[in-house]
């Protein structure tokens, strides 16, 4: 039945794409260029025809085009936040192209300043991670953008500092104090390039060691399913880090950041032209700081050079590289007792339970080549190729997931020396054309990725390191037992190689049926090949194959949405999409490897712009259903004999995630802006039919908070007495969550494995001053000194940072 419904959805989608009846009307075209007073092109300017409820954006060359416009007389308007815009009356003649050029009264330098303000609007410019350049009001999907102004004003250090400004995207885990995990709409984002959903300039990357924020121009968020564009990614959200690019003008900035716990971070950013066609940019930072957690330290060095080369009027090439060296102290949080049965509230915020010699060293290097070519004003080609290597060398205790009710923990050790190589390539062709009276904005693309993981296993005195008894501590009272301080010699035993290959092909079309109705439809085919792992014995010089065999997973990812635009400033949409997750284990019914689980997603929403784009207000509601959730089968194929093999599974479970998201942004003028958001999500088990002894229906999925909210505002004074003074305030709320582990069907333990974590709110205050090229900005975070917890992982929680201060002194040139 499930297969038939899925086939029907695919069939309906193909019919919609291929059998639309088209009506040919007498029409012409409108095109032109928008420039500044100094003759430079003005990109991202909105050009609209109010009589036809049509609007488009100028491209990077300042040009625009309206194909297939009915003959007649119209008023053509251009608008850009912070500018006076303009309008012209034009006449469209059958079979002719009407040229309408505009000149803004602002210079290119003025426009650059205005662009910061305009970027504060939710619906002002497309997210590059959307690949096709669709206007936000035409995109039937919830998005979020954290621009460079917010990143600077909030003195963002980590990716989590930025994305908390987007409704429903939450920092849920701090893994080992060396990386971050996020969740949205009931689904999490991993850190690895092979299984993650975090991108840099449209390329999937590994984010271990924390991505460097000093290079970020903006952070883009695309909520819900993005499988059509990216394949096997999270069904809740994907995040794209957009880095600063070279400029054909000389400039830069030097800065020093200083904060609590002896944090200091000098940085330099310099850019300019090499010649008329070649520009450069170089960013470098060094960071050294302690922590509110005892013995935890961080030292980071980062460099990011890039080149922009114009290969003529129609082609640009960007070559980017970066290197990050991060030395971090692994931090498992404060643990939990009885395998996640209670929060040990008597434990101080600073308590550290790893060894005092634990370390994690990471070296990460990335190279990316991006080529953009414009065949003409409507057809464009984008090519991206990237290679990234992530090397991690760490040593310390293993995870604190065996702490008893009294807080006693027999510590074992974990030693890791890993390499992840990520190699990706994608090609995208976008274009606009008309078939009769129906307009099309199409995307054709393909992408491929190769991810190779190399990992060593270690022994101590001939014993597997995980079985080596190091010492015993008490996580409630660290003085109860004497702790060892020596570093045992760990010997490499094996090297495991695990390669994964991914390939996808996709097509998408934004179909303008009329001035008010549009359809976005598309289809992707994905395949993922997971090769059998190879385990090489370092000591004996022999190789064996891993337990998991080679597998090939394939899936189709369709998307179909209807957009209704009663005015040029309002969009109402509803649609369906799906994504898939790759499963491990054996299917009870077939005895073969489990097929991917296909997850259905339904979303509806409304997007609004008011006051010439100075206020945006968006609302979305969604339901995400995984009705073929793979769970461990409680019985063997005979339905009677108990199954003791956790790799034998059945598609008998279901989870449902329902939610609502609200985003409001406003920038009444260049001195003032605000951001506000609220999200509700309820992700839970909704079916365990066929699993005898089920006791988990209705249980909330761990990690995901029910409610989240965010609000920030910043104001810069421009009057004579206070000119250059900036003040700001932010508040962030994370609702109650469940840590620990979800209970299992037919479990025998007497207690629930869930660990409730309460909600909390933090307040931040900022103040700064700018005089000519010099600025200083200070912030006090968690002003109320709130004590609460992040979920470190299922087995532990980590106290949030107490009240702290941070200040940045900068000079622009």
The rounded distance, in Å, linking the Cα atoms of 235 and 226 is: 7
pLDDT at residue 362 is higher than 60: yes
Cβ atoms 304, 366 nearer than 8 A: no
Would you state the pLDDT for residue 21?
A: 38
pLDDT at residue 321 is higher than 90: yes
Give percent above pLDDT 90 in the chain.
54
**Residue where a domain terminates, one of 102, 118, 134:** 118
Cβ atoms 732, 762 nearer than 8 A: yes
In the chain, the number of structural domains is 2
How far, in Å, are 20, 27, 530 from residue 435 at the CA level? Answer: 10, 12, 42
Beta bridge partners of 594: none
Would you state the pLDDT for residue 672?
A: 92
Would you state the pLDDT for residue 172?
A: 78
Would you state the pLDDT for residue 195?
A: 57
Average pLDDT rounded to a whole number, residues 786-813: 89
Give percent above pLDDT 70 in the chain.
89
Average pLDDT rounded to a whole number, residues 411-432: 94
Sign of CA dihedral 196, 200, 202, 204: negative
Cβ atoms 778, 382 nearer than 8 A: no
Give residue for tokens 């900036």: 726
Is 199 among the domain residues?
Answer: no
Of 115-129, 408-422, 449-463, 667-681, least confident by mean pLDDT is 115-129
Residues 6+ apart with CB under 8 A from 498: 452, 453, 454, 455, 530, 531, 533, 546
The rounded distance, in Å, linking the Cα atoms of 433 and 438 is: 9
Cβ atoms 483, 463 nearer than 8 A: no
Find the CATH number of the domain harbouring 649: 2.40.170.20
Neighbours of 25 (CB within 10 A): 12
Best CA proximity match to 598, nearest among 532, 524, 659:
524
Bigger pLDDT: 472 vs 699 = 472
Of 336-350, 449-463, 552-566, 769-783, least confident by mean pLDDT is 336-350
Is 77 among the domain residues?
Answer: yes
Give residue for tokens 């394939």: 554
Indicate the SS3 state at residue 2: helix
Copy the structure tokens of residue 170: 């939450």
Q: What are phi and psi of 85, to 5 degrees?
A: 65, -150
Vertex 293, ends 291 and 299: CA angle to 5°?
A: 35
Cβ atoms 197, 205 nearer than 8 A: no
Bigger pLDDT: 790 vs 455 = 455
Average pLDDT rounded to a whole number, residues 659-677: 92
Q: What are phi and psi of 595, to 5 degrees?
A: -75, 165
Find the CATH number of the domain harbouring 53: 2.60.40.1120
Copy the structure tokens of residue 71: 């003959």
Same domain membership, residue 554 and residue 412: yes
Would you state the pLDDT for residue 751?
A: 57
How far, in Å, are 11, 21, 184, 597 from residue 682 at the CA level? Answer: 32, 41, 11, 20
Q: What are phi and psi of 411, to 5 degrees?
A: -80, 125
Sign of CA dihedral 634, 635, 641, 645: negative
Q: pTM for this one?
A: 0.86
Average pLDDT rounded to a whole number, residues 624-646: 80
Copy the structure tokens of residue 474: 């008490």
Residues 6+ apart with CB under 8 A from 365: 321, 322, 323, 324, 388, 389
Best CA proximity match to 310, nearest among 375, 264, 371, 391:
371
Cβ atoms 243, 215 nearer than 8 A: yes
Copy the structure tokens of residue 30: 């409108």
Best CA proximity match to 388, nearest among 323, 442, 343, 436:
323
The rounded distance, in Å, linking the Cα atoms of 734 and 730 is: 14
The rounded distance, in Å, linking the Cα atoms of 494 and 585 is: 24
Best CA proximity match to 499, nearest among 545, 535, 462, 450:
450
Cβ atoms 560, 521 nearer than 8 A: yes
Indicate the SS3 state at residue 511: strand
Is 45 among the domain residues?
Answer: yes
Give residue for tokens 């990460």: 364
Give residue for tokens 């206007």: 135
Average pLDDT rounded to a whole number, residues 498-514: 94
- Cβ neighbourhood burial of 166 (10 Å; 0-12, 13-18, 19+): buried
Cβ atoms 76, 100 nearer than 8 A: yes
Would you state the pLDDT for residue 388?
A: 95
Is 149 among the domain residues?
Answer: no
Average pLDDT rounded to a whole number, residues 565-583: 92
Residues 6+ apart with CB under 8 A from 368: 200, 201, 203, 318, 319, 320, 321, 384, 385, 386
**Residue where a domain terminates, one of 71, 86, 118:** 118
The whole-chain average pLDDT of the chain stands at: 86
Same domain membership, residue 407 and residue 274: yes
Best CA proximity match to 58, nearest among 304, 377, 305:
377
- Cβ neighbourhood burial of 708 (10 Å; 0-12, 13-18, 19+): buried
Same domain membership, residue 481 and residue 629: yes
Same domain membership, residue 111 and residue 247: no
CA atoms within 13 A on the CB side of 312: 7
The rounded distance, in Å, linking the Cα atoms of 676 and 683 is: 23
Would you state the pLDDT for residue 376?
A: 85
**Residue where a domain terminates, one of 69, 100, 118:** 118
The rounded distance, in Å, linking the Cα atoms of 573 and 510 is: 13
Range of the domain at 591: 242-812
Of 68-77, 624-633, 676-685, 692-701, least confident by mean pLDDT is 692-701
Average pLDDT rounded to a whole number, residues 164-179: 82
Of 35-39, 224-228, 326-330, least confident by mean pLDDT is 35-39
- Cβ neighbourhood burial of 688 (10 Å; 0-12, 13-18, 19+): buried
pLDDT at residue 2 is higher than 70: no
Vertex 189, ends 183 and 190: CA angle to 5°?
A: 140
Confidence of residue 644 (pLDDT cuts 50, 70, 90): confident
The rounded distance, in Å, linking the Cα atoms of 353 and 396 is: 10
Same domain membership, residue 246 and residue 112: no
pLDDT at residue 23 is higher than 60: no
Is 30 among the domain residues?
Answer: yes
Would you state the pLDDT for residue 176?
A: 66
Average pLDDT rounded to a whole number, residues 69-81: 84
Report, in angstroms and rounded to the nearest whole number, the Rg of the chain calculated over CA atoms: 28
């Amino acid at each position: 039945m499930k297969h038939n419904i899925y086939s029907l959805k695919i069939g309906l989608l193909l019919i919609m794409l291929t059998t639309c009846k088209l009506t040919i009307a007498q029409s012409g075209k409108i095109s032109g260029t928008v420039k500044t007073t100094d003759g430079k092109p003005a990109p991202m300017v909105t050009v609209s025809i109010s009589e036809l409820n049509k609007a488009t954006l100028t491209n990077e060359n300042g040009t625009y085009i309206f194909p297939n416009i009915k003959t007649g007389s119209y008023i053509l308007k251009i608008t850009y936040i912070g500018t006076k815009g303009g309008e012209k009356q034009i006449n469209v003649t059958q079979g002719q192209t009407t040229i309408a050029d505009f000149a803004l009264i602002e210079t290119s330098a003025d426009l650059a300043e205005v662009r910061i303000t305009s970027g504060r609007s939710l619906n002002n410019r497309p997210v590059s991670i959307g690949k096709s350049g669709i206007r936000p009001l035409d995109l039937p999907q919830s998005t979020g953008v954290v621009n460079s102004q917010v990143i600077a004003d909030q003195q963002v250090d980590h990716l989590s500092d930025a994305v908390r400004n987007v409704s429903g995207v939450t920092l849920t885990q701090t893994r080992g104090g060396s990386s971050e995990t996020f969740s949205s709409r009931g689904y999490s984002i991993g850190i690895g390039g092979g299984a993650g959903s975090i991108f840099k300039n449209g390329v999937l990357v590994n984010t271990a060691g924390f991505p460097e924020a000093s290079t970020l121009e903006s952070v883009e968020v695309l909520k819900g399913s993005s499988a059509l564009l990216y394949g096997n990614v999270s069904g809740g959200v994907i995040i794209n880090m957009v880095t600063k690019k070279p400029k054909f003008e000389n400039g830069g900035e030097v800065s020093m950041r200083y904060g609590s716990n002896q944090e200091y971070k000098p940085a330099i950013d310099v850019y300019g032209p090499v010649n008329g066609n070649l520009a450069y940019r170089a960013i470098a930072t060094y960071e050294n700081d302690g922590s509110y957690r005892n013995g935890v330290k961080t030292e980071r060095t980062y460099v990011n050079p890039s080149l922009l080369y114009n290969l003529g009027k129609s082609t640009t090439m960007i070559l980017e590289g970066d290197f990050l060296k991060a030395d971090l102290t692994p931090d498992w949080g404060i643990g939990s007792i009885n395998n996640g049965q209670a929060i040990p509230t008597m434990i101080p915020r600073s308590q550290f339970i790893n060894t005092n010699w634990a370390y994690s060293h990471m070296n990460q290097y990335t190279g990316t080549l991006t080529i953009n070519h414009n065949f003409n004003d409507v057809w464009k080609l984008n090519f991206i190729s990237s290679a990234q290597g992530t090397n991690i060398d760490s040593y310390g205790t293993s995870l604190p997931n065996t702490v008893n009710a009294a807080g006693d923990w027999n510590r074992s050790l974990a030693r890791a020396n890993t390499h992840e190589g990520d190699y990706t390539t994608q090609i995208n062709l976008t274009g606009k054309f008309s078939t009769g009276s129906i307009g099309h904005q199409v995307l054709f693309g393909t992408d491929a990725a190769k991810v190779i993981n190399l990992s060593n296993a270690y022994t101590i005195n001939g014993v597997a390191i995980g079985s080596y008894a190091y010492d015993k501590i008490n996580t409630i009272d660290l003085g109860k037992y004497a702790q060892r301080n020596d570093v045992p010699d760990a010997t490499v035993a094996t090297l495991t190689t695990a390669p994964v290959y991914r390939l996808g092909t996709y097509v998408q079309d934004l179909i303008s049926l009329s001035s008010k109705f549009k359809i976005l439809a598309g289809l992707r085919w994905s395949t993922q090949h997971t090769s059998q792992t190879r385990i090489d014995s370092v000591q004996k010089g022999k190789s064996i194959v891993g337990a998991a065999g080679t597998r090939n997973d394939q899936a189709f990812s369709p998307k179909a949405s209807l957009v209704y635009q009663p005015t040029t400033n309002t969009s109402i949409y509803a649609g369906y999409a799906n994504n898939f997750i790759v499963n491990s284990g054996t299917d009870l019914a077939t005895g073969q490897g489990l097929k991917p689980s296909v997850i259905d997603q339904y979303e509806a929403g409304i997007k609004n712009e008011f006051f010439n784009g100075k206020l945006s207000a968006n609302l979305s509601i969604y339901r995400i259903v995984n009705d073929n959730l793979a769970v461990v089968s409680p019985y063997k194929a005979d339905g009677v004999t108990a199954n003791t093999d956790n790799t034998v599974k059945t598609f008998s479970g279901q989870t449902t995630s329902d939610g609502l998201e609200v985003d409001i942004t406003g920038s009444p003028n260049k001195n003032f802006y605000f951001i506000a958001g609220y999200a509700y999500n309820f992700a839970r088990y909704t079916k365990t039919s066929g699993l005898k002894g089920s006791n988990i229906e209705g249980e909330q999925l761990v990690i995901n908070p029910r409610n989240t909210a965010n609000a920030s505002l910043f104001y810069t004074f421009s009057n004579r007495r206070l000119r250059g003074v900036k003040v700001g305030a932010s508040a962030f709320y994370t609702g109650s969550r469940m840590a620990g582990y979800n209970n299992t069907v037919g479990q025998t333990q007497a207690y629930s494995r869930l660990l409730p974590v309460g909600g909390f709110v933090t307040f931040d205050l900022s103040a700064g001053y700018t005089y000519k090229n010099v600025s200083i900005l200070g912030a006090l975070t968690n002003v109320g000194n709130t004590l609460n917890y992040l979920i470190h992982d299922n087995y532990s929680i980590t106290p949030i940072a107490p009240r702290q201060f941070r200040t940045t002194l900068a000079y622009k040139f």
